[in-house]
Structure 1
Amino acid sequence: MGSGGDVIVKRAKYKKTAKTPGIPGVFKLTVEEFAFAPNDPTSGTRFRVSLNSIKGHRFTKEETSKQVLLNLLKKGEGSEGYIFEFENFRDRDICRDFVGKALEKHTDENQADQKHADEKQADQKHADAQISAKEMERRIKLFQDDSELGKLHKQLVIGRILTEDEFWATRKKLLDGGNNRSSTQRVGFKSAMISDIKPLTDGRTNKVTFSLTPEIIHQIFAEKPAVHQAFLNYVPKKMSEKDFWTKYCRAEYLHSTKNAVAAAAEAAEDEELAVFLKQDEILASQARRKIRKVDPTLDMEADQGDDYTHLPDHGIPRDGNKEITESLSHYDQFKRNLSQDLNRHAAVVLEGRALDVEIGDTRTVAEALARSKKVELVNDTSETNNNQERFNRVCRMTEIEDLQAPHEPLLAPLCIKDPRDYFYSQQANALKTLGDSAIGGRSVNRHVSTGDAYCSMRESISDIKSVGLQTSIIKAEVAFKVLNSLTHNISSTKYTLGSNNRETVLDRLPSRTKEELLNHWASIQELLKHFWSSYPITTQHLSVKVNRLKDAMAQIYPKLQEIKESVQSDLRHQISLLVQPMVQALDAAFAHYDADWQKRMAKSGLKPNGSI
């Protein structure tokens, strides 16, 4: 037999004591475990043991003993252990040295794991101590509002079946209440306008240089939708990115000269350049769409007396020059308005960045911005009908309060904290209503023939065609009786006994037995929720948790059996019907656990009985 790497295989005899003859077989040793397989396949002495369960080892010395023994001592069991007799001291020494190194490694790992566990426990205690007073108040408030939740917490958390974090992890919405949303703040655009970025000129030549950084390009796309759309259309289909920005800078230079005639002439010769020289039609369309959203009852038109731009020596200088207002209308589309640029820049700065992508690749930024704008446009058009919204605004602003119909009283929202309390109360109302009416004192024929149903439907259709839907088809008193009857049926899902006896099975039980049965059902639901959410088992923590839940669920079986045996004999069948879905849910969980355990054992090469 040989050895190599992390696996050692030697012939040896397994002995329960040093004096017994021993069972010949094969001893296999790895850094994680050791195993013994007898030569006789019918022998039941097969085992596989993890080295984590070994605290140390002893061996016989060559000069003092003829037996070549190696004793692997079990943890917490005195000097007892696994005794192996090898064929020679050389094989024994190889295994002895290997075990020594493996145990030393496991000791260091266990100490590190223990230290990590202690630190984690200390952090958990610190975290528990750091629970804010506000969160503690919310938990106490939940216990006060829902007594069943308090019972579950006491049974599962205080009973050490679930941890505090595991119990509340499935109830984050109850704790958060929708108010614990973390908000992230994006870095906005700089307040400096793009037009303030001056080109660099070479004093010796007529060369003009613009400096475009990724930040400036992103801002250009945000402030100038036409440039953004042109980039998506032209790059790289018609031109390279360098040629695109060269044309853009050329257009910016022409705008800075204030020569609309020259700009129009170059735009006529180069259609790509014309996109940058003309006014932005996409911005104009967005402005018109925003104007349609303005409250039509507000007069936003400025007073003519406040307009001083028509007077001489008034106006806002741009680039050191005053804008020339007197020009031919033919060149108006090649002019820029400082107020519009200023307003657009201010709007973009206030909106902030709409992208979470990293600034770098220009194409990626452009496509991401296009997707965000498309989403905004879809949401904008799908939220409201603009015409209907404007009409509603006008109606709200022009209505006279004295001439309006009286408002209906506000209805309080229905909040059912315990469904059982609701159905119990409604059951009493339903029984009272059905008992006082004629329908409650006699048998009601709830089945009609197909022909009668068809005739009734045709009569209803004829009435709607002739009269219209001015009044309800179903009478209010009939609908109320049907609602009460349905509520009674829902609240009687606890298997009502007899057709004339309205008393339910749970109502006939002693109050203590009834509460125990309902509490067991709530416990089963909570345990199964945590059980199924733990699969697939990928960590040691989940494995320990599932075993803990399995043990807790196994303890419910005898308790349910005790309940069935404690009631009267005439109620045991009905109790069995109530308990049956609980047992089936538990059986399904245990079947899944067994199948998964078998699968994991087969995957690891182990047999269910621990043999090899």
Structure 2
Amino acid sequence: MRLKNRENFSRLRLIFYRILNENKTVYQLYKDLVISGLVPADDFWSKYVDFDKLTESTKKQNTGVSGAFLTNIRPESGDSGGIIYKLNADTIMSIFRTYPAIREKYEQNVHTGGMNEADFWRTFFQSHYFTMDRMHSSHHRDLFADCVKQDDEKMHNEAERASRTAMAVIAPETNDTSEIGYGVNESASDTTGKNDLNKNLIKRFNFHSTMILKSTLGTDTNYETSSASRVEPDDDEDISKKFKSGDNLEDLRTEQQEETQTLKLVNPDRYLRAPTIDRSQKISVQQIPTNFNNLKQEMANWHVNTELTLNSGLAHKIVKDLTPGGALMHGTTAQTLSQIVPQNIQEEMQTIYVSLSELLRHFWSSFPPSSPLIEEKIHRVHETIERFRETQVNAFKEKVSTDLLTDFHLAGHMEDLIDTANVKYNQWVKTVSSTGRT
């Protein structure tokens, strides 16, 4: 992970600082490996830390649009008697994603400098486009007068696309009212001027729901503002050619039971009786005395083999020694080790083990050395391990040398690991010295 940009470096430095503060294990590894000069900082962050996983919360996540986001826009009375609408960034993005025509007007007027943002939203809330009836306005100064027409065209395209769906409940060629649910077919029902308000309200609700569903298909950045030039994919055309309304679909067929053939038995008595007894294995009366005499002879010649058994006294002593508090269980109780050792000691021991394991991994992976750089690394890692023993392992050993924990030798295994590495290092140094190399 190379940091080439100063801005990226500043941003990542804050992330690294947060990671080191929140994760004690990573912080300890950083001190033991990076500060000691064993591992470069870039290699440490790319190898020892799952950077993508730790920083995934900082990535921008696309959220959905609430179906009731307009209800959160509540007007308040201003000081001058007017009405004030308070909008946040999430509400504005929801409006743009649900009503593309408003986004287009915003880009045409605010981005070009024709009006400021406050005037734009004030005009929007005062327009007929925002009112519940959504009636077409004849006012020539209404900025959003043509938005209703764009919505009607888009909704009409959605209705036509839905009518071409192969699995439509009512096909358009068989029923003239297939588009009644969309409220865009004037000839779908006998409407009068009294229910125009209801029809426009239904159209508004249907368009609102449709655009919220479509907003989940992609992000805002990929959205084309021009609704007239947008081409909707007709994925259902090929399916419409394959299936028709009168087709008999396999999934809708009634399951038919397989025909089975009746079993015809010539002699049914064989299936109504239990198996016959094999009388060939039955012992005859004449063989009973002979078998009884053989059993008596075997019992008379049987002897107990006690060579591999223990006497009761020795068994009792062993059980007593292995009982908690016995001679062989000195310093232990019925509690487990995790219950005896305090939690802070366990966490510190785990941290030391992680750092020591990384140092030893670097040490053992350098053998056999294939270049002078690796030989130099062996010397450097060995010095780091010895310094780690003095500063970490010995300090931890003194900390746990209490009457309660001294019998467990918690630092003994770590010392054995370091001693084994020292033996290997001394053997390697002796081998190098015997060859005349330094």
TM-score, normalised to structure 1, is 0.25
Bigger relative contact order, structure 1 or 2 (CA pairs below 8 A, ≥6 apart): 2
More strand per residue: 1 or 2?
1
